[in-house]
Amino acid sequence: GGVGGGGGGSQYAHRLAQATSYLKPHIRQIASALRFAVEAHDGQVRRSGEPFVTHPIEVALILASLRMDAATVIAGLLHDTVEDCEHVTIHDLRTRFGNEVARIVEGETKVSKLHTTGNKKFDQRMNTRSMLLAMAEDWRIIVVKLADRLHNMRTLGAMPVEKQRRIAAETLDVFVPLARTLGIQALEDELRQLSLRTFAHVVDVQLAQPIGQGRTQLERLLEDDYVLRTRRVGPRLLQHRVAWDAHSLAWLSSRNMLPAF
């Protein structure tokens, strides 16, 4: 059903095949992951009314535009399956798609809504801490999370206004500085632009206040949170930046976009 059948499905399969043409040896596994995602999310619908699976597919397309490896693109396609589909487990993904994919998806699942005490500020802080701990393990977990947030920001209009503001504020406070820390400028710029556009529609002094002033929530947590400091998450994120820079250089040189030395 949904995206899997008919015109929409073949259109997405074609777009994904084109976007991942740089991953030729893995094309069959990517197609298999697409089918898996379509079946797993069958019947699920986004708030916009679109089949839910359009979201993980768009996330995978963003990851492909960053020339991420096959494990990351496949993890993008599957990143919501364990959390949102009762019948899918991490073990299923490990068996079918291998350890790397399972580890990235597990990292994504860990960083989804964990704390719901009713105290929104506390919950968000704890969720962000959990997210940063998972991300410290593998830089690709961060890139999938940023791509996930970017597609959610692109489609934010379907949400109630109050939720739009909350998500935009969190994006400016956590995800924009995270993209900046990693050095992924394309994601940083678009996330900031979409967040500020959300605020442009609302006059909200309280939420607009922190923008560009003082430390971001990300900086406060990395510098002040005992658990994150003990686990050296800040320095590990900076090491991830080295990994991203190496990835970008390899990608640019493969396209002959680097000056000859």
**Catalytic annotation, pick one of 83, 189, 223, 224:** 83
**Known catalytic membership, residue 83:** yes
CA dihedral 114, 78, 136, 229 (to 10 degrees): -10
Residue 173, both tokens: 């406070």
Question: Residues 58, 90, 47, CA angle at the centre, nearest 5°?
Answer: 35
Do 12 and 38 meet the contact criterion of CB atoms below 8 Å apart? no
Q: In sequence order, what E strands does 66-189 have?
A: none
- SS3 category, 45: strand
Q: Hunting for tokens 């002033």 — which residue is that?
A: 213
Measure the CA–CA gap between 219 and 172, rounded to whole angstroms: 12
User: Is residue 21 classed exposed, middle or buried when 0-12, 13-18 and 19+ CB atoms within 10 A define those classes?
Assistant: exposed
* Cβ–Cβ < 8 Å for 16, 61: yes
Set 50, 69, 84, 190: catalytic member: 84
From the list 63, 87, 2, 71, the residue with the least C-alpha distance to 30 is 71
Report the DSSP beta bridge partners of residue 45: 51
CA distance 111 to 99: 18
Q: Please give the positions annotated as active site.
A: 83-84
